Amino acid sequence: MPTKAAPKKTQKHSLFLFLVIAVFVCAIAVACILNYSTAAQNKRKAQEAESQYSVAFSKNEELESFLNDEEHDEYYEQIAREKYGYAKPGERVLYYDAYDATEE
């Protein structure tokens, strides 16, 4: 009888070893899949960032060439009036408050 007990032990050990190896292989497969999907997302984000950069760079070059052109005094005047509230000497600027008009 001692000869039959030994093979059952090795079968249990081999089954346990097989299960451990199978779980390890599955864990590696899941890790690889997650890594691949993360890499694909990062690649898409990098492409989006690169396209946004090229758009911003071209717009920046356009604005720089526009600002370096000295024939745009009217544009500078419009920005000074609208953003900074400047006015020409002797000019009266009227402001309309829509909130005050709705109270009446």
What is the per-residue pLDDT for 65? 84
pLDDT in tens, 6-40: 556 677 788 889 999 999 999 999 999 999 999 98
Across the range 85-89, mean pLDDT stands at 86
Does residue 44 register a pLDDT over 90?
yes
Q: How far apart are CA 60 and CA 87, in angstroms?
A: 29
Is-above-0.95 flag for pTM? no
Is residue 87 within 8 Å of 81, Cβ to Cβ? yes
pLDDT in tens, 61-79: 988 887 777 777 777 888 8
What is the per-residue pLDDT for 95? 75
Nearest partner of 79 among 66, 90, 92, judged by Cα: 66
Q: Which domain holds residue 96?
A: 2-103
What is the per-residue pLDDT for 89? 87
Does residue 1 register a pLDDT over 50?
no
In the chain, the number of structural domains is 1
Does residue 4 register a pLDDT over 60?
no
- Buried b / exposed e over 18-34, threshold 16 CB at 10 Å, is eeeeeeeeeeeeeeeee
